[in-house]
Every structure is written in C-alpha cells, then in structure tokens.
Amino acid sequence: MRWLDYPLYRLLGFFVLGIISARFLEFDLLQLGAVSIVLFIAFLTSFFIFRFSVVSKWIFTLSSSLLFTVIGFCLYQIQTEVFPENHLSQLEQTSAEQLIDFTLTQQLATNQYNHRFYAKLHSVGGTQVSGSILVLFKKTDSVAVKVGSRLIAFDDINAASDGRNPGDFNYKEYLKSIDVYGQVYVDLPKILSVSSKTDLPWYVQLRNTLLEKLESSELKAQPRAMIEALILGQRQNVDPAVSRSFRDAGVIHILALSGLHVGIILLILRFATRWMHRLPYGRWLQAALLIVLLWCFAFLTGMSPSITRAVTMFSFVALGLAFKKKPSVFHSLTASALFLLVLDPRLLFQVGFQLSYTAVLGIVLLQPLFLSLFPKKRNFLYRLLINTFCVTLAAQLAVAPLSAFYFHQLPVSFIIGNMLLLPVLPIIIGLSILFFVTLLSNIPTSEFAVILNYIFETIIEVISVIGSWTSLIIKDIYLDSWQVVLIYIAMLGLALFIKPHVARSKKEQFILVKPNNMLHVSLVALILLIGVSLYDSMKDEEYFMVLHQSRASAITIANKDQAQLYCAAGNMESQRRANSIKRLSNVSFLQGKHIVIDSLPNLVSYGDRSILIIDESSVLGALDQVPEDAILLLQGSPKINLEELIMKVQPQIIISDGSNYPSDVKRWTATCEKMNVKFFNTYNDGAIDLLKL
C-alpha cells in the first residue's frame, strides 16, 4: 500500500498541522474565513473545471491541504475562544462566596482526600450560568450525593492549578480541554440543599440500578469495585493500594476503561451476532447493530472521554469489517481520528487520545514484525502466548516515550503482568457481563459471586506481588517534548525500514527487497537526539527561585549538578508534607539532580541576591541588619504592619508565596501599589526567579 494513495492520510496530517499551529499562533477568525473561501473556490475550480490538467492537480492538492490546515486552525480557535455570554468563563467575578446551583453529572476516581465529581452549572449568585465545574467533597464529610444530585451551596468557584512551577502539570488547561472551567471545594456546612433528580436519562438509571444490584450481591468490596471499573467505568471504589499495584505492574490500563475493553466487547458481540451473515445484507446489518450496541455501552459508562474515543474508533473498525474485502486498519484509524478531531480539536493534546492512538498504531505496525521472528505452529496455547507477547511488546514500545514524558517512569514488569492478564481478560469481561445479566434477570447469583470473588481476589494478589518488584520499575525518567518527537521519528523510520522485509507468507520469514531511505531518517533522528542531549547536559545554568506550594513555603538554589531545597510546611500533616516535597523535587530544573532538603532559614543568599523571610516571629526591631537590596518574602500570613515594614527596610521587591491567605495578599497588593514597591504573588505569577528580578 502506498501511504499517500489514501487521501485522508494527507488531509489528517494537514488538519493536525493546523491544530498545532493554532496552539501557538493567533489570527483573526474573519481573515481566516476569507482565506478558507478562496481556498475552497480554488479547490472546486481545480476539481470540476480543469480536473484533467497537470496544473489543476497541483492546485487541487495544494488548495485541499491548505484548506484543511486553515479549518483545523479555525476549529481549535472556536473551541477555545468562542463562548456564549452566560458561560462561566465569561463571568468577571466567581472567586467570591455566593450561591452556586449545580447538578452532579459524572463521578471520578476518589483521591486520597476528596470525592470528585464533574457538575453542570445552573446559576451563580442568582444569575443563570452555563458550563461545567469540578466539585470536590472531603472524604471526612459524609455527604450523601451521587450522579444526578442537585445541590445549592454558598461557596466560591476557583481556578485549578495552572502549573505555577516549571514542569508542573497544568491542570487548569487540562480541565479547559474537556470544557470544565472552575472547581469548588464544598465543605459540609456550606451545603444549603441536596435533591435527587428523578427524570434521569435511561442509561444513568440503568447504571445506577446495576450499581445498586452489585452492592446488594454477595460480591466482596474489591471484586465488586473491579467489576464496576471494568464494565461501568466507575473507579471511585477501587482501593488506592490496588490501583497503585496495577500501575507499578504496568497493567493500569486493565482498570481504566479504554479501547482495550471496547475492542474485546466488540469481539464478543461479533461472535454472538455472526449468524447475521446468513441474512441479506447481513454484514451491514451486523455492523449497524454493533455500532448501536457500542454506543449504548458508551452511554452506560457515562460517556467519559476515553470511552467516547474508543467507541468512535471501533465504530469505524466495525464499519470497515462489513466490507467483503478486508480494509486496512490504518484507514479506519485515520477516519476515526479525523472525525474525533473535527468534533473537538483539543483532543489532540490530551494524554488519553495520544496514548490510545499510539498504542493501536504500534500494534498494527510492530506486532507483525515481532510475530515474524517466531516459528508458526498450530498449537493453540503457543499461538495465544506468542500473540499476547507480541501485542503487549508492540503496544508498550509504542507508548513508552509518551509514558516516560508524562509519568516519568516505565515498569519493566509490564510483560509479566500483561502476559498473565490479557489472555484471560476476555473471559473476565464476559463473566462480568453475564453476572450483570443474571442480576437483572433476578436469577440467584450466590455461587456465581463465589467464583468471581475468587478470580478477582487472585488477580489482585498476583498483581500486588508483581507491582512490589520495585527493582523492575525505571523511575525518574525526564524527557523534553523535542526528545519524544525525535525518538518517535527514529522508531517509525526503523519500523518502516524493516516492514518491507517481512514476507506475509506461511513461513513469515524475512526477504530481501529494494532498500528504502527510512533507515537514514532513523539514524538522522538518533544523531540529533544524542547531539542536542549532550549540548543540553553541558549547559551550566543556575537557579535561585521562590517556588509555589499551597500552605507552605519553598526556596531552591540549583546549578548543573546539585540543588538545595529549603521548605517550611507549617502545620501540614506528615503525608501532605511528604507529597509536597516530592512534588517540589519534580520541578523541571531539579530533575536528575542530587537534592539536599533543609528547613527554611530566616535569610537565604546566593551570589549577590538575598531574600529575607518575614513570618509571624519577625520583629521590626530585629531588621536593622538586613542586607542592602534584600528581597522580602511574606510567609504564613504574618500579622504585620506592611507600611511600617516598608518604611523601615525600604525593599524594592516583596514576594508573597502560597502559605498566605488570599485576603492578606489582596491587602498587601494594594499597600505595595500605594508605596511604589514591586509585589509578586506566586498564586498569580507562579515561581519567581530571583536572579532575573
């Protein structure tokens, strides 16, 4: 197959180019609209009027490519910038406490401290408002809420963390990419009313019914939680220790409802409906039924982004399977990716989207290469194990650079975990679906529950053992985005160089063919990767920064090889303090360095810069020996007269970190403006580089 013979490949490539360009550039939408009209006219002219001339073919190719680039650009800008007047993002003031009316629409996995939901807004401060927010309830507050509950609370809507330290995950941008534009931490005393919606959609009612029947069954807590995660996409009841074991064993995708599960369900449904092939137009009827059932499953699981992507992808696959001539899987993947990105171009930058398509492309491209290395045998068990090994290796190699980039670790034990779980996963999913059928049919399930309890408890125990092999987890891997791109170019070039040498024959052996240039592409990418990495490692950079940390203070000094991290966590409990220090240690310029952690002194100096910490214990009379040009850091909301302090010390710069109350920061900002002193706040400005002030 010649890659460029399929037009959607080119169109998808230019559409993606437009989306990426819109991420970093900005143009007027009216001007882009005018350009689109000109390109569309050129496209129609070259196709219908002068379609047989050589020049028209060039015009057709160029105009269609540029048209899709501009369309990708415009759609991304529309999704990120155009909102109705009453949308939450358009409100001028949401940080003040006021009445908030909202309905919980989706429950997320519970974290260490909070129960988490997405919610649809109805009104804020008595004004009708549209949009979605993230709602968090303390685990210690026993709030009887579930999906469909409508609440009225007197609280404030805040922005999520936007990556205030270098290298931090930008949670605010992630939430915006799924149309969530604020978050509310709801305390129990601030909840004024809770009501349950009775006219829920059929799929929500069915899901709630299934969850209730599961809870009343003989299943134990963790087997029940795993079935909820596997079939319904509800991970909130999975024990965090179990999730951690699955993650460390490299099989967390088993718990996260994704394309793997949808693919298995598609295979089960195809097997159950294969009798339809005997009917007139049976293949097309089967494809239509499969697509309807897949989307019913998506609704049942709550239409999470990962399931929506997966069901869309496999809907195109199911449609492709209806053709008598077997189509290329690349065609189905390309069509589904283009369809999804047209609906929401922001998907391109979501980790789940990238991992899903990269894994499937890796399987399609690399699995045949790995499979060709093994002799073909008729033994069913041998073929099952070899296929599982090749699929696992192909998928994990494909997503390894992205996993290292986003999660900074690679579990080498993934082969063992996947070899054990993937062959039995279809059986587990099939039994779980059958258990739901028996529950809905009111058939006694006690013996069935005993079997499922044993199966899932065994799986949890085995994965716990594999996840405990910490020596098989490669941690502290830090890659830049350009390194990830070069690694993928090298991998793709090598795979495309080898692929023509694999003969799809009975013996699946290597053959000699005319060489291509993809090996050169791979080698050039590797040379660039090594060269630029060496150049970066030789740069001698220095850092003296005030970092942002909620309810704590942190200052770091770092050079090329080592770093000093000064922390003051106040009254933060031990586990939160440990998590805080771990997060601060992952700041981008501290990665890979030997870090010495110490308590925060009253005065920190580096080179010709000094910063004086002003806390509750500071006394104005003790500030006579302050170094000239010292920067003041206000920490722990000290009860001081800032005007008197400024008059005495006469600082040029004052900094407030994350340990201070917002009300104090607001007052200090006004004081510094009045007295003509530069004021920085890490809540708004992020980490402050003292060497650049």
Could you report the average pLDDT of every consecutive run of 10 residues in the chain (693 residues)?
63 90 82 81 70 69 84 88 81 76 86 86 89 88 81 87 81 84 88 79 80 88 89 82 85 77 81 84 87 86 77 84 69 85 88 86 84 80 83 87 85 83 85 89 87 92 88 80 91 82 52 67 91 80 88 87 83 72 81 84 86 75 65 88 85 90 89 91 89 83
Residue 622 confidence (pLDDT):
53
Q: Which helix (H) or strand (E) holds 642?
A: helix 642-649
Q: Do residues 402 and 234 lie in contact, with contact meaning Cβ atoms separated by under 8 Å?
A: no
Q: Report CA Rg, the chain.
A: 29
Calculate the alpha carbon distances from 446 to 46, 373, 428, 431, 609 in Å.
69, 47, 17, 14, 71
pLDDT number for residue 101:
93
Contact 250, 480 (CB under 8 A): no
Parse the chain into domains and list their residue ranges: 3-81, 88-198, 220-250+413-478, 487-538, 543-692
Cα(334)–Cα(337) distance, integer angstroms: 5
Lateral strand order in the sheet of 631-634? 603-606, 609-614, 631-634, 653-656, 678-681
**Cα–Cα distance measured from residue 132 to residue 138, given in angstroms and rounded to the nearest whole number:** 20
Torsion sign, CA atoms 262, 267, 271, 276: positive
Helix (H) or strand (E) holding 314: helix 305-321
646 in Cβ contact with 677 (< 8 Å): yes
Q: Partners of 604 in the beta sheet?
A: 611
Q: What is the pLDDT at residue 164?
A: 85
Q: Return the HEC string of 198-265.
A: CCCCHHHHHHHHHHHHHHHCCCCHHHHHHHHHHHHCCCCCCCHHHHHHHHHCCCHHHCCCCHHHHHHH
Distance CA 201, CA 195 (A): 16
What is the Cα–Cα distance from 566 to 600, expressed in whole angstroms?
5
Instruction: Tell me what pLDDT residue 544 has.
Output: 92
Which of 340, 345, 334 is CA-nearest to residue 75? 345
What is the model's pLDDT at position 331?
Answer: 79
DSSP 8-class letter at 687: S
Looking at residue 654, its pLDDT comes to 92
CATH fold, domain 88-198, is OB fold (Dihydrolipoamide Acetyltransferase, E2P) (2.40.50)
The two tokens of residue 484 are: 């990830």
Question: Rounded to 10 degrees, what is the CA torsion of 598, 602, 604, 608?
Answer: -170
* DSSP, res 502: B
pLDDT of residue 29: 75
